[in-house]
């Protein structure tokens, strides 16, 4: 757990979140500023700054994030969905704890904003 990490606080249950799925190692909760009808963040329980760091230390956990994202989309009735990792501030990462965005429920254009 990292000091001052909002996602670590959510995982620990100290900050409330609308949790939609959880396992022993992963938590998925609704984004506070949804960009699609379904917008969920899937995070590992252990702190890693970004997807690359998680891949270096726990590649199996990175795969689990993707599997949980698939399950969340399916449980919400979506066959089509977008998965997004933002890595670094210039790419739009604002919370430096690995998180996978799951977006679905509307047509998602390309390229994204």
The position carrying tokens 């900050």 is: 15
Alpha carbon distance 81, 102 (integer Å): 7
Alpha carbon distance 61, 92 (integer Å): 22
List the Cα angle 8/79/99 in 5-degree steps. Answer: 15
What would the two tokens of residue 47 be? 């702190």
List 47, 97, 99, 101, catalytic entry: 99
Q: Is 99 a catalytic residue?
A: yes
Q: Which positions are catalytic?
A: 99
């Amino acid at each position: 757990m990292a000091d001052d990490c909002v996602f670590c606080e959510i995982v620990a249950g100290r900050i409330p979140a609308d949790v939609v799925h959880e396992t022993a190692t992963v938590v998925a909760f609704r984004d506070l500023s949804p960009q699609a009808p379904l917008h969920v963040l899937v995070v590992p329980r252990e702190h890693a700054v970004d997807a690359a760091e998680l891949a270096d230390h726990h590649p199996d956990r990175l795969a689990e994030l993707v599997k949980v994202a698939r399950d969340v989309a399916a449980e919400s009735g979506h066959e089509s969905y977008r998965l997004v990792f933002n890595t670094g501030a210039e790419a739009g990462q604002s919370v430096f704890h690995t998180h996978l965005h799951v977006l679905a429920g509307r047509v998602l254009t390309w390229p994204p904003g």
